[in-house]
Structures are given as structure tokens and as C-alpha cells.
Amino acid sequence: MSSNPVNITVDRPLQYFHSLSSHQTDSQSTDIFNGDVDFGLVVKEAPLCTHLNVRGSAQDQSFVAGISQLLGVALPTEPGTYHCNQQQAIYWLGPDEWMLVSQTGAVELEAALRKTLSGHISIVDVSGGQTLINLRGADSALRTLLKKSSVYDFDSWPQAKKEAGRCAQTTFAKATAVVSNKSDGSFDLIVRRSFADYIAHWLLDAGQEFGCRIEG
Amino acid sequence: MSQINRLPSGARIDSSVAVKFTFNGKQLQGVAGDTLASALLANGVNVVGRSFKYSRPRGIVGHGAEEPNAIMQIGSGAGTVPNLKATQVELYEGLEAASVNGWPSVNFDLMSITGWFGRLMPPGFYYKTFMYPAKLWMTYEHFIRKAAGLGSSPVQDDPDSYDKLNQHCDLLVVGAGPAGLMAAREAARAGARVIIADEQSEFGGSLLASTQRIDGRSATGWVEEIVAELNAFANVQTLPRSTVFGYYDHNFLGILQRRTDHLVLRAAAGARQRLHRVRAKQVILATGAFERPLVFAHNDIPGVMQASSVSTYINRYGVAPGNRLLVFTTNDNAYQTAIDWHRTGRTVVAVIDSRAAPEGQLVAAARQLGIQIMAGHGVIEAQGGKRVKRALVAPLSADGSEITGAVQRLGCDLIACSGGWSPAIHLSSHTGAKPTWDQNIHGFRPGESKQQERSVGACGGSYALSACLAEGAAAGAEMAHLTGHGDGILHFPVPEAEEVQEQPQQALFLVPHTKATSRAPSQFVDMQLDVSASGIELAVREGFESVEHIKRYTAMGFGTDQGKLGNINGMAILANALGQSIQETGTTIFRPSYTPTTFGAIAGRDVGDLFDPERYTAMHRWHQDQGAEFEDVGQWKRPWYFPQSGESMLEAVNRECLAVRNSVGILDASTLGKIDIQGPDAAEFITRMYTNSYLKLAPGKCRYGVMLKEDGMIFDDGVCACIADNHYLMFTTTGGAAGVLAWLELWQQTEWPHLQVYFTSVTDHWATATISGPNARKVLAKVCDDIDLANNAFEFMDWRDGTVAGVDARVFRISFTGELTYEINVPAHYGRHIWEALIAAGEEFGITPYGTETMHVLRAEKGFIIVGQDTDGSMTPADMNMDWVVGKNKSFSFIGKRSLQRSDSVRENRKQLVGLKTVDGTQVLPEGAQVVFDPQQVIPMSMQGHVTSSYYSANMGHSIALAVVKGGHSRLGQIVHCPLADGRTIAAEIVSSVFYDSKGERQNVQ
């Protein structure tokens, strides 16, 4: 490994939108928005972290148990659910596919997983290709925003617990996202980097009626 | 003009709040709560439009979606909306309304001259008259459309915005009249998720104009209470001003919600209209019924109205649209209109009842008020110009088919008609349910359900208020139960409504005249499109039998009202003319939309910048800052070329091309599709997908491959690298990425599930900076000190792990330019960082960013194909002169292999890839140009091929082109010709497709 990690700049997918906002225009006043408005919706891009796509057999007990032991989080095998702790979250994406979002470094985590697991598995670092954003705000505003953006019935989900909730990999506007609910009533979105600008535009537009701000 | 017809009070208006508006330029005044129609009637406006064909003056007939005549252009300029029904437009301050028909004015219409020749315009008039000569149709059409006219579309961009919501519910209740409100409340109380939508400005439906009492309270008071209860439920969404316009498969329904149309200041309130896309587990249709008009001579003169509409204007809006009322009915309901009118203090001339001996409760009440009742009579003709002046009344036979005595003239200025009721079965029809004729109600009931839905109340044929309340409640409880809420049994008392004793109505679809139908003054069936009873009979005489054909021949039901009023009468008249029953004749099929739906709402926010996603690479902002021009590649925005100040595209591309060949260039290749492939059978699987073998590809090595579809035709190409044992990285074309991944998954999941292999898209994960040119190695060496870049240590078609500008990277030594090239891949968050580091490192070599155009020129100089440009889904590897990439001795077959042996795949004279060198090197062939061998041949010439890629090559000093030419591989040296659209013909020599460095020495440079 080389030894010249000087001044490495990191671009977060939504960074050009941090602190941009949209709000309802009032045709009677032409005041430029001054930042004092209460936002009905806040879109916050999480700090970059590790995203690993993990494939394996849910029927393979050593695979299921291995992941649970290593991470301290049970592998969710119920469709459309996720489990999490302070360090990481595992989202069910399909019968043999999961998204692992973790604070541990990608190289370190992948190595640890490969050491623990055996057989036909796949671990792919996709950290650079996506970003996690949190949507919070007034419940009705949040749900209206989701209804504008996706055909999925998020209202059918039960309230999330601290360590588990629901998730769905689905269409989001004309892109895709992994949407999950959180115990504080907010929602997390994992979106692809190349669609991030489109998603940011979409969110600002769809959230305009409530006032919507993007934060880093 | 003052509001001469305004009454002291109306249930749903506030007379103290005046609302000013204009109609055809004239200032008028209504009150808060008015519709445009009620305000016009209050002002005594008789003529609101001219009829479509005969330009006859027409007045307001109804009070809702059924209105055929009062079609308005609302607003002006960019926000103008054509073809709204005045009965559905809520009045607001400053509203501008204009009739859509009638020029120069509705009161003096030049076009009405056609009315005098009405006899000359039978059904099919346009077909019959303007058929020949065919080429004049465009002229005819222009005239006809101008003459007919139905509003005008705005010519500017729509200033309003629209959006869409995706909704899910257990129960969608359509219509918030008595049945719908009860259904919604019952289901809501059981805990079901309920959406209730109604097209009117407020909930209540018919109750808003009703004088009946529910649970001892006024109907409107009861409505207010139940609406308040519904609004308080967390599991209920109430949507007034929301039309359920379409019922589609799988209980998917569309609702158009008008959010700001009724407001003066619209922009501040957000989206003007919102389209709700609802997926409902169960649906209750409580859409009510339309009163059926009566068909008699000149029943279209302003002042002939629906009886229930007259009552609605009196009770709901406080408007009495006339002075001397004549009621014409076949049933008891219209007596209520006579009673309502009597209460206003204006004159009821008489009630004309077609039945011989009416004796219902309302009849008795009217009689008690001293209202004259003429039983066994009918209005056979209305007379007047722009307003009814009198009615001709005659005694009718018991079945209503003949006149049995002398005709009398009764002076009146308003004729309120009721021919019974027609259930609003439109949404039920959308599902494919075939309506069934019910002799008891003389109407079509909804057919057997095709979806999870039920019709209740009037739309199911139950007209009594008490029945509507009970049916609604029962259906609400039951539907909630079907979705897992409650036990399906009513737990709450159904409100009590007064029972009104009624006598059966009489079926009367065409009122006889003293003259035969064909000779009588027009008896209108469809007012909007001027279809008369005689027209329907004429169509039958001309041989039409099917109701669907009659509809198209006469245009009955074709208007924006979809024949909500006239259709049943029309079908009955048709049945009679055909000598068959109404059930046998059937009805036309109603289709979405129930009422017109704006395009804006259908588009929603998927317009402008949000029409389609634009995908950006991690380096996009750098390209923008450099002033790059962008090219769309799929959804990606790729830099096309980087013009420096004052440079033309050609100059920029020439500069970029020379820089790569002479020093070094840098390309953003992040958009290439990348698929990570892992599993014990990965190599085997990949080998089946590509034409060549990957079984012996070692870690650190790359190989170029071509994929075929089953037909043997090239589908994608790219490099595949072995990352580690059982681990590969496949590159695809930018546009083909998603298709290739789906293709791999398809074969793995459906054909070879026993092969253990997983695929994961990593396109977005890796950002790729490609440096290419003789100085590429020197640039890379400046920012990478942990990879041995020596030619023998890091060979062409190798890849290495290393650190570039401090970031973990995968570096591939592969080349699409034919020059020494390194493709540097890093996780995309570092994409801009390494890009800028390479630019800085390359500065001393004049590193030149280049775009897709230069990339295309450079690869064409090398004869490298682009799938989708040089191929078109009908090209084999052999056609592309790429037999070398097809593994002949692979142990397992590969996809498309067998098709390569088809007789057509191996025949002589297939189109084959060659180079074309124009005889005059300054001329650049247009891509797509056809290739011919003999330019003197008489047209049509034999086309021998076409140009697939063509550029000016600064490196070669002349133009170059790739083309596919029949038998091209054996035609080297021959001259071919490309005749162009502008008349020129360019001659070119067939040459090798490799123009530059044919031995490939440069990419292997030491």
C-alpha cells in the first residue's frame, strides 16, 4: 500500500444539495426565503459508511449463524424486514440477498465476513455506489411525500422498533431505493449515487408544499 | 343585469357574500356557494351556448356531470381551460367564462343558418357529403371544426403544476351521498382504511338539495354531522372535489382531485390538481342516478330542464330559474319540484303526468296545494325561440305511444321534465360488467361484478332514501369485514328517513307528436351532439342494427357528457325501431374517463427536469466547470467534447484526438456497466454467455468478449476480468448494463439454477478515469508508486490492485483507443479526487480531457465496433470480421452458437463490416447513408449496405467511415457510392476497417 494519503477529498452523492431547500411560494409576497421558515420535511444525508451486498443461502445455518455471531445482529429472513444495532443494519433484499450497512470499514468487514463464512456466498462492496438519507418531518407530510414517490404501501407497515423494522427495495419516482422505517417515525432511503441528483430534485419538488430542506 | 331569479335563501349559499364574474364579457354577480350555472340562472341568462351541429340556442338543463349544453371556456391566456360544464364550475371572484360555441355571440349566431337547413344534415352527413374528393378532406375538416368548435386549448405552457399520489385502502367509496356516507362510516367504525371521494364541492350528494328529514333533522344537518365524524377518523381520507374517473383492472382506480380550481389565488395553494392512483381491496360504488329527460319536439329550447335540477337550484342554491313552471313527468318524484316551486311563490302552471291515475303521496301533497294535475297527458312540443313561451299538451294513450285527443297550448317559461332515473353505472361498466335491463326500474342496473366491488343506493337501482341509507350501511360493514375489519354485521342503527309512498313510474322514451317522428319538429335525444329521435330511426332505415354502430353513425353519446342524459332514451328508441327489447339491443360500453381529465394531472410532476432521471458520474461537476458539452447515453449524461473558447465541435474533437495519439488524454468511463460475479461456477457461467472461453483466465488477467442472443446476433460486448478465484468483474456497454444483468439473471434463474453464481451491479460503485496515450504511463507513475508499471510486469490486458493518489484502486490496462491506456477504478466517492489528481499529474504532458465523440473517432480509426451503432441486432461476429472472438472448441456450447450455423448466418453476401475511405478525403459521409454499387442505376437503386460510423480523422488527415456492405470482406479495393438526400453522390473505396496502427503496436508499447 502506498503512503501518500494527503488531502483526499471525498464527494458525498448529495453534497451539492446540502443546505438547499424548497418551500411554498406565496404569490402575494415576493420575499426571498430567508431560512427562518419551519421545514415540514428534512432530508439528511448520513455520513458515508460501508455498504456491502451479501448473498448466500438462508437455509445454510452456518451462513445465518455466522453473520449473526460476527455482527451481533440476526440475519433477517422474514421478507421485507431489517435488523440493526448501533454499529450496523442488515436489510432483507431478497430470499438470498441482503444489504449490510455498517460503520466498520469495508475492507476490514469484508475480510472478517469471508473469514467467518464459507461455501457459495458473495460479498460485494458497493459503498461508493450508494448513499443513505434520512427523511424526517411531520407524519402526514412524510407519508404524502412517500405516496408521491412510490407505489408501495408504506402505511401498511407496523411501527418500527429500535432494533428492527420493515424495508422494501422498490421504485422511487423513476429511480429505485431501499426504503425502511425507523422507530422515531422517520424513514431511511438508500439510493444509488448516479441517481442522487435526480432524487434530490425530486424530493425538493415533492416536499415543496411542506417546506423541504436537504442537510449533510 | 340583477339576480332576478335569486330567492331569499338557499341551503348551501351565503347570499351576503357577492361574487363578481363575467360571462361572454358581461359583468355579472353571484353569491358564495354558487356554481357558474346557478349564478347564470340567477341572473336570468337563457342562452349559454349553441348546439354542435345545428347551432340552435341552448340553455342549462342539469346541475352536474350530466349537463350537455352549458359547456364553457374558463379563464384566459395560459391558464384557460376549455369545455368545463358550468354546472360543475364553482364560482369565484373574477371568474371569466365564455361559451365554447356561437360566433360572434350566442345570441346572434351566424352559424345558426345551418339550423335552417337542419333537414339537410341527417346522421352521417359529414361522412356522406365530404367523402369525395378525398384530398379535399383537410379543407373540409378545417371548416367543419371551426364551425363546430368545442373550446380552444391554451397555446402557452401550462402555468399550473399537478401531482400524483399512490394510495392504498381497504375500501374506496365512490360518491358521498346518503349511501356512500353510510358505507364509509360503517367501514370506518369497523377499523378499515377508507377513502371516500365525491366530485362535488362538498359531501352530501342529493341530500344537499333535499327537503327530506333524516333522524328528525334536516338532511344537510345530518350530512354535516356524519362528515365531521368521518373527518375525525385517522383511518379515513375524505376527498371532496374529487372525481373517480376510471376503474381499471385489479381494483385500480383513478381519482382527479381539483385542489385549486375554485380559488382566486391558485399559485399559493400548490398543485392545481392531484391524481390519486388508488389500489383498493374493495370498492363501493355509490354514484347515484341521473334523471332521465323526456324526448318531445323542440325539447332543447332554453327553459326545458330536468325536474330534479330545478329542485336543486331552488333548494341548494336559492335560484328559481323562471316564473311559470310546467312540470312534465312519468313518475312521482317530479311532484316534489312542483311543490318546491310553489313554495317560492312563483306560478306552477300544471303538472303534466303521462300516467292515467297518479295517486302517490307527493301527488296528493301537490293536489292539496292546489296545483293543477293533468293526468294521462304529455307535452308533445315546446315552443319559443331563445326561451320557452308555451307548451303543446295532448292526452296520451295508456302506454304513451299515441295522442288520443285535442292539443292545448299552455303558456309557461320553464318545463321541468322527469322521465324516471338512470343509475350511474359508468364505473361498473369500466370493469367490463355488462349492464342488465331491469323492467321494474325501467333502467340498466350494474351488471355482475368483475372486480371486488358493489353498487349501492341509486346507482344500484334503489332510489328511496331509506333504502340508500340501509344498503350503504350494510355494504360498508360487509366490505370492511372482507378486508379483515369487523364481523360484517351492522352494529349501529341505520338513520331513519321518512318513507314516501310512491306509485310506479311509466316507461316513456319518446313522446308522440301529431306528426310522424320523421316529420315532427326535432325531438332531441342527445343535446350536445344534436342527435334526434328521427336520426336514430333513419340510421335503422339505412341498415344499422348494432347499438355500437348507431352510436358511431349518429354520434349519440359521443360528447363530453358521454350521453349521461340521452343514452337510455336513445337505446329505447333504437330498440323500438328495430322491433326488439331494450335488453336485446343492449347499451354502449362506458369507458374511462367518466368526465374529462386534464393531461397535466396525468403527467403529474414527471415533466421538465423531472421527466426522466439524468444520471451523473462522480466527476460530473468537473466536466460542467470545464464547459463540457454533454451527450445522452441511456439516462447518463456523458461529456461529449470539451470545447475551448471559440472552438467548434470539429476543432475540439480534432484537438482531443491528436492529444491522445501524441501525448495523453483522459476520459470519464464511469458509465460503463460493471457486474461483479462470484461463485464456484462463475467461470463456467461466463463462458456460456460469451462466445469465447474464460475457464483459463487467471487472476490479474482480462479478456474481451462478445455476447450473442439465441439468434446468434451480437447483443453486447466488453472486457471481463478475473479478480480472484471464482470472482470476476464484467464490463458492459453503458446502455446495455441493465439488459445484460437481467440476461445473466434470466439464464441463471430459469435455465441453469444448478450453477452456483451470484451477480451484483457495481456500476455506481466504481468511478473510472481512463488515461490514454503514449504518456499515460508517465502520468500514472506520478500518482501511483505501488504498482510496477513496467511493460513486462503489467502487460496489455492485465489488471492490478494498487493505490492511486492515496486511494485504493483497480487499474486495468485495456484500451479502446489503440493507445497505451490505463483505466483507473476507485470507489465513486473518490472519483473526483483521483480525476483531479490525474489532471494535475498530467499537466506537464498537456493531459487533455476528451469526450465520447473523440472516443468514437479514435476507436473507429482502430476499427473497434460499438454495439448498437455498428451492429443493429442482425450482425454476427463473422459479419463484424470478429471470428477470432468465437471459441470453436469450447466444451459447453455458448448462447447463440447453434444459430451461427443457420443457413442464413453462413450465406454469402451478408452485410459485412468494412472501412470506407472517401475518394475525396475532405468529404465526411453521413452516418446512415446507403451504399450502392452503381450510381447510374434507375431508382429504386439496389441498396448494398449502409454507413454505420463516420468521422473526420485528424490523425489520418482524411475522413474515415465504417460501413456494412453485402459481401464486403471480399470487396476490398472496390469503389462504392453513397447517394445523399441532397442529390450529391459520394464515392468511396472499400478498405480494411482498421485505419490506424493495424498491427496494434501502440497499445502494447514498451
pLDDT digits (tens, 9 = 90+) for B669-687: 999 999 999 999 999 999 9
Stretch B218-223: mean pLDDT: 96
The pLDDT-based confidence of B301 (bands split at 50, 70, 90) is: very high
The pLDDT of residue A32 is 39
Same domain, B770 and B750: no
Q: How many CB atoms lie within 10 A of CB A48?
A: 17
- Whether A2 sits inside 8 A of B784 (CB atoms) is yes
The pLDDT of residue B370 is 96
Same domain, B664 and B679: no
- Whether A11 sits inside 8 A of B165 (CB atoms) is no
Tens-digit pLDDT profile for residues B344-371: 999 999 999 999 999 999 999 999 999 9
Same domain, B114 and B206: no
Residue A3: pLDDT over 50: no
Find, among A79, A74, A81, the residue nearest to A158 by Cα.
A81
In A, which residues are within 8 Å of B164 by CB distance? 148
The pLDDT of residue B144 is 57
Q: How many CB atoms lie within 10 A of CB B163?
A: 25
Residue B129: pLDDT over 90: no
The pLDDT of residue B395 is 98
B504: which DSSP letter? P
The pLDDT-based confidence of B269 (bands split at 50, 70, 90) is: low
Q: Considering B714, B733, B761, which residue would you say is the last residue of a domain?
A: B761
In B, which residues are within 8 Å of A24 by CB distance? 268, 270
Same domain, B636 and B737: no
Measure CB to CB from residue A150 to each of B166, B613, B785 and give the nearest one: B166
- Structural domain contains residue B875: no
CB-based contact (8 Å) between B749 and chain A?
no
Residue B111: pLDDT over 70: no
- Structural domain contains residue B397: yes
A50-127 CATH, one of 3.30.390.10, 3.40.50.150, 3.30.70.1520, 3.90.950.20: 3.30.70.1520
d(CA B274, CA B786): 59
Tens-digit pLDDT profile for residues B799-822: 999 999 999 999 999 999 999 999
Contact by Cβ (8 Å): B118, B112? no
For chain B, positions 235-274, list CB contacts with chain A under 8 A.
Answer: 265, 267-268, 270-271
Same domain, B398 and B315: yes
Q: Let me know if domain A15-21+36-47+129-215 sits in CATH 3.30.1360.120.
A: yes
In A, which residues are within 8 Å of B257 by CB distance? none
Residue B102 or residue B150, greater confidence: B150
Q: How many CB pairs under 8 A join A and B?
A: 156
Same domain, B326 and B337: yes
Same domain, B775 and B637: yes
Q: Residue ranges per domain, chain A?
A: 15-21+36-47+129-215, 50-127
The pLDDT of residue B153 is 83
d(CA A146, CA A137): 12
The pLDDT of residue A36 is 45
d(CA B495, CA B178): 10
d(CA B450, CA B427): 11
In a mutational test of the B interface, the residue from A126, A143, A194, A195 whose CB has the highest number of chain B CBs within 10 Å is: A194
Written as one letter, the residue type at B290 is F
The pLDDT-based confidence of B105 (bands split at 50, 70, 90) is: low
Contact by Cβ (8 Å): B594, B426? yes
Give me the number of domains chain B comprises: 7
Residue B203 or residue A2, greater confidence: B203
Strand ranges, E, within B249-332: 252-258, 273-285, 289-291, 304-306, 324-329
The pLDDT of residue B563 is 84
- Structural domain contains residue B599: yes
The pLDDT-based confidence of B79 (bands split at 50, 70, 90) is: confident
Taking CA atoms, A89 is separated from A74, A83, A94, A188, B1002, in Å, by 10, 6, 15, 11, 49
Tens-digit pLDDT profile for residues A20-72: 888 876 544 434 344 445 788 999 999 999 999 999 999 999 999 999 999 99
Same domain, B436 and B352: no
Residue B125: pLDDT over 70: no
Residue B321: pLDDT over 80: yes
d(CA B485, CA B762): 45
Same domain, B817 and B959: no
d(CA B817, CA B861): 8
For chain B, positions 179-238, list CB contacts with chain A under 8 A.
Answer: 193
Residue B191: pLDDT over 90: yes
Q: Considering B858, B891, B919, which residue would you say is the last residue of a domain?
A: B858
The pLDDT of residue B112 is 55
Taking CA atoms, B998 is separated from B364, B847, B988, in Å, by 106, 25, 20
Contact by Cβ (8 Å): A183, A127? no
d(CA B267, CA B403): 59
Smallest Cα distance from B782 to chain A, Å: 11
Contact by Cβ (8 Å): B993, B881? yes
The pLDDT of residue B145 is 56
The pLDDT of residue B891 is 74
Stretch B293-306: mean pLDDT: 97
Q: Which residue of A has its CA nearest to B670?
A: A194
Residue A84: pLDDT over 90: yes
For chain A, positions 50-79, list CB contacts with chain B under 8 A.
Answer: 53, 55
- Structural domain contains residue B721: yes
The three cell numbers locating residue B10: 338557499
Average of per-residue pLDDT values in chain B: 93
CATH of the domain at B952: 2.40.30.110
Q: Which of A4-18, B397-411, B777-791, B816-830 has the lowest mean pLDDT?
A: A4-18
d(CA B314, CA B327): 15
Residue B499: pLDDT over 90: no
Is A7 buried (19+), middle (13-18) or exposed (0-12) by CB count in 10 A?
A: exposed
CB-based contact (8 Å) between B755 and chain A?
no
CB-based contact (8 Å) between B353 and chain A?
no
The three cell numbers locating residue A18: 446540502
Tens-digit pLDDT profile for residues B582-625: 999 988 888 999 998 999 999 999 999 999 999 999 999 999 99
The three cell numbers locating residue B559: 360528447
Per the rule left: phi > 0, alpha: psi between -120 and 50, beta: everything else, B983 is left
- Structural domain contains residue B487: no
Same domain, B439 and B459: yes
Residue B195: pLDDT over 90: yes
Same domain, B256 and B172: yes
d(CA B98, CA B90): 15
Exposure letters B221-244 (e unless 16+ CB within 10 A, then b): ebbeebbeebeebebbbbbbbbbb
Measure CB to CB from residue B806 to each of A2, A148, A198 and give the nearest one: A2
- Whether A27 sits inside 8 A of B615 (CB atoms) is no
Residue B109: pLDDT over 70: no
Residue B103: pLDDT over 60: no
Tens-digit pLDDT profile for residues A122-133: 999 999 999 999
The pLDDT-based confidence of B773 (bands split at 50, 70, 90) is: very high
- Whether B829 sits inside 8 A of A12 (CB atoms) is yes
Length of chain A equals 216
- Whether B165 sits inside 8 A of A144 (CB atoms) is yes
For chain A, positions 157-186, list CB contacts with chain B under 8 A.
Answer: 173-175
Tens-digit pLDDT profile for residues A165-185: 999 999 999 999 999 999 999
Taking CA atoms, A208 is separated from A23, A188, A191, B259, B364, in Å, by 5, 19, 20, 16, 60
Helix %, strand %, coil % of chain A (to 5) = 25, 30, 40
- Whether A193 sits inside 8 A of B614 (CB atoms) is no
Collect all residues with Cβ–Cβ distance below 8 Å to A90 and sequence separation of at least 6. Answer: A54, A67, A71, A73, A75, A76, A82, A83, A84, A98, A99, A100, A101
Same domain, B48 and B171: no
Taking CA atoms, B512 is separated from B300, B389, B498, B519, B581, in Å, by 16, 20, 36, 12, 19
The pLDDT-based confidence of A4 (bands split at 50, 70, 90) is: very low
Tens-digit pLDDT profile for residues B718-745: 999 999 999 999 999 999 999 999 999 9
Measure CB to CB from residue A198 to each of B166, B614, B802 and give the nearest one: B614
Provide the ipTM. 0.94
CA B636 to chain centre: 26
Stretch B90-113: mean pLDDT: 75
Tens-digit pLDDT profile for residues B825-878: 999 999 999 999 999 999 999 999 999 999 999 999 999 999 999 999 999 999
- Whether A194 sits inside 8 A of B763 (CB atoms) is yes
Full residue range of the structural domain in which residue B535 is found:
515-603
